[in-house]
Homo-oligomer: A and B are copies of this chain.
């Protein structure tokens, strides 16, 4: 049940059984049905989520009223509205289940307790966020330097099941293009 989480923590730190047990005591397991929301814009974000099974999307709604996907979180991803979660102020993002999704959720107080009880976790999240930052920085560079077609190819390469698990309009929104244009691009790629 908790193998994936254990594996994830062990990527950066070593926890003994007692520590891991403590970690488990602080989190709660929850299943969200497809299309339901874990976070709503305007509300203060209560949890950070670890996806054990399923798929989530983090998005916001821009001034023109369009939804824009920020990231997809599949198995073994941590996801939250980090600004809202850490500041405990109302956030701008929505988090929605694209499939029936089982998450392990950690509240802010739970996380703070864990950080005091298992100081190694400071290190774990430090490294996790460094890697997240690096990935996001690359994405900015891709937006600056690559065409929509290159970004699409790269995305599919990094996340091959995306086309099976995510609708085209959500992929288009993530890539920063319109669904119409993605459709035209794909028909063009075959020739």
Interface of A toward B, CB cutoff 8 Å: 60, 62-64, 66, 68, 70-71, 82-83, 86, 115, 119, 122-123, 125-127, 129-130, 132-134, 136-137, 139-141, 143-146, 173, 176
| Chain B contacts for A176, CB-based, 8 A | 143-145
Q: How far does the Cβ of A31 sit from chain B's closest Cβ, in whole Å?
A: 27
A83 touching B123 in the complex, CB below 8 Å, given contacts A62-B145, A139-B140: no
A137 to B143 Cα, complex, angstroms: 12
Of A60, A125, A134, A137, the most chain B CB neighbours within 10 A belong to: A137
| Chain B contacts for A66, CB-based, 8 A | 145
Chain copies in the assembled complex: 2
A64 to chain B: closest residue by CB: B145
A185 to B144 Cα, complex, angstroms: 18
> CB within 8 A of A82: which of B68, B83, B133, B144?
B133
A82 touching B134 in the complex, CB below 8 Å, given contacts A62-B145, A141-B68: yes
A144 to B133 Cα, complex, angstroms: 18
| Chain B contacts for A145, CB-based, 8 A | 62-64, 66, 68, 176
A82 to B135 Cα, complex, angstroms: 11
Pair B82/A130 contact, Cβ less than 8 Å: yes
Q: How far does the Cβ of A9 sit from chain B's closest Cβ, in whole Å?
A: 15
A150 to chain B: closest residue by CB: B63
A174 to chain B: closest residue by CB: B144
> CB within 8 A of A129: which of B71, B83, B126?
B126
A14 to B140 Cα, complex, angstroms: 33
A146 to chain B: closest residue by CB: B62
A and B contact pairs by CB, cutoff 8 A, 7 listed: A119-B119, A123-B126, A125-B130, A136-B136, A136-B137, A140-B140, A145-B176
